[in-house]
Structures are given as C-alpha cells and as structure tokens.
Amino acid sequence: METFHYYNMFETKGIEYLLTIAFFVLLIPFWLILNKRVAIAKGIQYALGVLSMGRLYIPQGIFYSPQHTWTYLRKSGMARVGIDDLILRITGQISIRELKTTGDKVQKGEQVAEIAQDGKLLKVFSPISGTLVSVNGLSGEQQQNLLEDPYGKGWLFEIKPSKWKQETQAYYLAEEAVNWTAAELVRFKDFLAGSLEKHEGMPSMMALQDGGELREHLLADLPKGVWDDFQQQFMSEKQ
C-alpha cells in the first residue's frame, strides 16, 4: 500500500513563488507610476522647448551660409535672404532692424541688419552681392513672422544677385545643410562651456535643461559678453 505524503508548500519552494508573485504585484503599479512621471517630464521639457534637430525646420531647396543666413533664387531671378531657424530658436523673442533700403548695392559679407534684444545685438551679414530690390519691413506684430515662418513670411530682403553661382557654390544645401546644422548644435553646446566660464564664472550645465539638454531661447538669458562671443564664432566670417 502506497503511503500518502503531505508536503507543506511553505517548507519547500512555495514561499519563493509567493514572494515572486508579490514582487511583481508591487512592481507593476510602481512601473506604471514611473512611466507616467517620465511621460509628464518629457511633456514639460517639450513645452519648455528643448533645442534639438527634431525641432528645427531646414527646407531642402535653400542655400545656407556659415554665418546662419539663407538665400534662394526665385523664378523672377531675385534672391530672397533671411536668418536661419537655428539662430532664431537660440535667441528667442527679438526685434530686427534693416540697415539697407531699396536700391542699395550690397556686397557679400556686408552688414545688412541687426538683431536686438534688451540692448544686446547681433549683426546680420548678406550671403550674396547685388542690388537690393525689396525690404520686407518686419515691424510690430510682423516680427513674429521671423519665429513662426523664417523661410516664408519672415524673409528680410530681396536682392538682384550679381555673382549668384560664384557666391553660393560653397554654401550648404539639402542633406549637407542638415548635417551642418547638427554639427552647429554640438558646437553651440561646446561654445557655452567656454563663454559662460569666461564671462560668468559658471559651468554651462547651469544654463541647460535637466540632463544637459539645450533649451530654446537660451541666449536670451545670457549677458552681452556671451552675445559678443556668439557673434564672432557663429555669425561673422572667419578671419
């Protein structure tokens, strides 16, 4: 006759199974809460404006100069000129003052406008030579066009180019423009480390988002000395 044996699960592996089940019962709500917080944090970070390639608008049929101006040739033969999206997202709410009027002749590399914000200035240089045929005249509420539609309603000048092919052949176009802009983002982050240390004695991390991310309109909160450095390193022709 076979003998019946009784096994107490708590004296064998049963207790381990119960502990494993309890662990997962506790883990699941914790995981859900954690992921919800991460999603909320990402939403807040997006609302604050993380400056990333995904946020930048880089039309493919436009020529970009190393000084962060752009130009393209219209069917009329006139070339429109403006400021690229990266500069506008770095500076934020600005005013623009055109320094040239219709009929003026301009040379490539000549100052044609200036960006102003609370007494801080950045010079804007023409990417091409020619005769200025039209000024957009952004003023008042139209200044918002710079941020909302920099390559459309936010253009600055129309120029009848005199050396179009010669002066644009070294500019960035299409995929080259995307790669160059990505490199400029990295360079801007490196720039902050040196310029903030020099002028404020503070590390660049203090000016970034949590996690060391660049945020939009970052230059707006920085002093004139940093703006001057930015002008020389990003918006002026290299000597």
Task: Please provide the DSSP assignment of 93-151 as one string.
Answer: S-EEEE---TT-EE-TT-EEEEEEETTEEEEEE-SS-EEEEEE----GGGGHHHHH-TT
Question: Residue 28 has what pLDDT?
Answer: 59
Q: What is the mean pLDDT of the chain?
A: 82
Q: In Å, what is the CA distance from 173 to each residue of 54, 61, 228?
A: 18, 7, 28
**Segment 5-54, tens digit of pLDDT:** 444 544 555 566 556 665 555 655 554 554 544 443 343 344 346 888 98
Name every residue whose Cβ is closer than 8 Å to that of residue 229 and which is 6 or more positions away in sequence.
191, 194, 195, 198, 199
Q: In Å, what is the CA distance from 178 to each residue of 38, 60, 63, 174, 215?
A: 29, 8, 11, 7, 19
Pick the CATH number of 57-239 from 2.60.40.10, 2.40.50.100, 4.10.95.10, 3.20.80.10: 2.40.50.100
| Model pTM score | 0.76
Q: Where are the domains of the chain?
A: 9-48, 57-239
Q: Which residues pair with 157 in a beta bridge?
A: 81, 135
**Segment 157-193, tens digit of pLDDT:** 999 999 999 999 999 999 999 999 999 999 998 898 8
Q: In Å, what is the CA distance from 48 to each residue of 36, 42, 145, 190, 210?
A: 18, 10, 20, 21, 11
